[in-house]
Chain A
Amino acid sequence: MAVVQVKLPDIGEGIAEGEIQKWLVKEGDTVKRFQPIVEVLTAKATVEIPSPYSGRVVRILASEGETVRVGQPIIEIETSDASPKTVEEAAEKSVEAEVEHVAGQEPRGKPVQRVRAPPSVRLLARRLGVDLSKVKGTGPRGIITKRDVLAYAEQAKSVEETVDEEERIPLKGIKKIMAERMKLAKTTIPHAYVVEEVDVTELLEVREKLKKLAEEKGVKLTLLPFIIKAAVKAIKEYPLINSSLDEEKGEIIVKKTINVGIAVDTSQGLVVPVIKDAGSKGLFQIAREVRELASKAREGRLSLDEVTGSTFSISNYGAIGGILGIPVVNPPEAAILGVARVRREPRLVNGSLAERSLVYLTLSFDHRILEGGYATRFLVRVKELLENPILLLAGEGELD
């Protein structure tokens, strides 16, 4: 048994509503399918509406004298003869009817943005290559006139080249995900930024010295693993960097494990594979994973597990170029570190000019979670670690 709502049927020839004249059944009555249940006065005639179901009248929803719209529920019938499909349909119909009722507008076709133009105008538009959906109609009820099409074509002439050269690329796959996540980030996270210049001359010298050792271990050592190492070390001192916001509960969730997402540029789009528990891993291990994840990302072989669960991200856009970039926080994280290109520039060192290796680091952060002071202190600590490699690499297992 199911209770279904019967709505005022579409009784044809432009009838939009009717007045309930007389109920032929009352609540509690048993009705048979096709039995007349109500007399309705329309603009054309008084008609008897038959019941679409057999069953029991549960509730009468429109009283005598009331005007009801086509599609508005008028009676509820408890029935067993409606197949599940019918019941479902009926439920759908009632939803539709409610929507219509609330909106109080023409039921059909209303939500659809339609082009209104007579055939002659459509033909003209075709000849001129004008997309009618872009033309605003000035005729009655928004009908597009010949003049509208001509005016649009005239105006479009000036930008014709660009219009002609347009190509429309469907937003799908990774690109679509990127678009959605970036929209979420920029519409929900109040971003703030802090930039620091780091002198990595000494660090690069250390890297040179470690290269041989790394090669022996089968690892190619780039700058990025050092930066990951520095960020992780600093996060241990500034744990709020590794957190997210639970807006509903009004709580900041501080993550105990540091999973670092690495933004990788692939032919398909932006992918962020994750180095899990980077806080417990040594430099070589991190370097090995960075390479492995990056090549998997480019080949599209990453597993779901390898792209989820990051708690902090790093964008190494500088590997491509750019002296300063400002990354977007990867929701629901609290911050992202941007690494720019390493520049060789003269700097004063102990009162004399020297050629130094310099890199800008940007920290973009969620200002709901982090204060500017806290974020800056964190970034300054990262800078200290990178400028003093001995601080970065001293300690049990840090090199592994």
Chain B
Amino acid sequence: MEVLEEPPISLDKALKMYRVIDEDGNPVGPEPSIPDKLLIDMYTYMVRARILDSWLLKLQRMGRVALHAPNKGQEAASVGATLALEGRDWLFPSYRELGALLVRGMSEEEILDRALTTIDDPLKGSDFAIYGHRKYNIVPAPVPVANQLPHAVGAALAAKIMGDDIVTMTFFGDGSTSRGDFHAALNFAGVFKAPVVFVNQNNQWAISVPVKRQTAAPTIAVKGVAYGVPGIRVDGNDVLAVYTTALEAVDRARRGEGPTLIEAVTYRLGPHTTADDPDRYRSRSEVEEWERREPIRRFRLYLEKKGILGPGDAEEIYRTWESRIEETVVKVLDKPPLPPEVILEDVYSKPTWNLVEQMRELEESIKLLKELGVEVE
């Protein structure tokens, strides 16, 4: 019987889960050497993402934000992976990466301007509520899942052809891996060695579909192997594991060695979106189990054990950002909304007749509603 050659890509890394710290913040192996300041930044980004997330949920419940996809529990994956990028790199997020936006430089105010579609929203209320900002090389997230994967591959290949020293990174969920776009993107990226990093946030649930109904493969990362793309499974709630893995993947891409598929094993602690009730499809005990593993608490315990955060420092960071973000929320709530005519902008250089007709109908409707004393927003 012929002995098969060992595959060039490690199956081991795709099947076993890499982690730096355990649920209680204790190191489980060698620790990467990361400057203290960056460690505190990592922590702060996660805290900011958590606070902003809870505000977006509240603002949705007040009728001020149309829809929000809660991030709670997934902060380490988006913050850790994005910190591996350089400013010139491009991000192709999904709709659950507040941490990634903050790391790229978007402020809470800029995110809230988008979410509340105020007069300062640069995208004028278009696309999915929150994500995307040209200034920070963030491409707006499409609502259909996995669409951004081929985009990220295309952009990476373009950069490669142009000789630009640019890496792209894209985020997507476990549900996305069942879509054709996932196949096309990984296959293409593998064949042409596109400088792209695929970050799969395997948060266990695609709305109400559990990951075991999503794929019969033992892990998501192992799927990369078949495309000739290294797949690495990491504890997505361990920010250090995500960061070090992403750093390596970004370096590889930059060196011209091609794409990496990172599976960050995490858990969505909140509902899929503000229109979802997870209690209908998953048990409270499952959620409680994952709450013990949530990323912010465990990283805080690690930093405290290492003495990087002193007693009360974590609370201080939380309180500082809580009041700053509340101030920002109050400020943004007072901003005027976008005027209705922006609906027609940025599609055709000259609006077509049917759009003009629709705009006229809209204006008439608004006028009539105002005459009737009905509030128009």
Q: Could you tell me which A residues sit within 8 Å of B by CB distance?
A: 9-13, 15, 34, 44-50, 52, 89, 92-93, 95-96, 99, 107-109, 111-112, 114-115, 119, 122-123, 126
Contact = CB atoms under 8 A, between A and B. Distances in A.
Top 7 A-B residue pairs of the complex, sorted by shortest distance between their CB atoms:
A9-B63, A45-B277, A13-B275, A10-B63, A112-B365, A44-B275, A96-B374
A45 B207 CA distance: 14
Interface string B274-312: 111100000000000000000000000000000000000
B61 A49 contact: yes
Contacts of A107: 374
Contact of A50 (B58, B67, B276, B365): B58
Given A11-B60, A12-B67, A47-B61, A122 B364 contact: no
A74 to B, nearest CB: 12
Nearest to B55: A34
Contacts of A50: 58, 61-62
A109 B372 CA distance: 11
Interface of B: 58, 60-64, 66-67, 271, 273-277, 326, 353-354, 357, 361, 364-365, 368-369, 372-375
A119 B353 CA distance: 11
B345 to A, nearest CB: 20
B63 A11 contact: yes
B62 A93 contact: no
Which of A49, A50, A95, A115 has most chain B Cβ within 10 Å?
Answer: A50
A9 B365 contact: no
Which of A34, A99, A109 has most chain B Cβ within 10 Å?
Answer: A34
Contacts of B274: 11-13, 47
Nearest to A14: B275
Given A12-B67, A92-B373, A44 B60 contact: no
Contact of A95 (B63, B64, B373): B373
Contact of B368 (A44, A95, A112): A112
Contacts of A123: 354
A96 B374 CA distance: 5
B277 A111 contact: no
Given A11-B60, A47-B61, A49-B61, 18 more contacts: A9-B61, A9-B63, A9-B64, A13-B275, A34-B62, A44-B276, A45-B271, A45-B275, A46-B277, A50-B58, A52-B62, A89-B375, A93-B375, A95-B373, A99-B373, A107-B374, A109-B365, A112-B369
Contacts of B66: 12
A354 to B, nearest CB: 65
A122 B276 CA distance: 38
A92 B375 contact: yes
Nearest to A81: B330
B277 to A, nearest CB: 3
Contact of A111 (B64, B275, B369): B369
26 contacts: A9-B61, A9-B63, A9-B64, A10-B63, A11-B61, A11-B63, A11-B274, A12-B275, A13-B274, A45-B275, A45-B276, A50-B62, A89-B375, A93-B375, A96-B374, A96-B375, A99-B372, A99-B373, A99-B374, A108-B374, A109-B365, A111-B368, A111-B369, A122-B354, A122-B357, A126-B353
A9 B66 CA distance: 11
A93 B277 CA distance: 29
Given A12-B66, A12-B275, A112 B364 contact: yes
A11 B58 CA distance: 10
Contacts of A96: 373-375
A111 to B, nearest CB: 6
B354 A48 contact: no
A255 B171 CA distance: 86
Contacts of A99: 372-374
Given A9-B61, A12-B67, A34-B58, A114 B361 contact: yes
Nearest to A35: B58
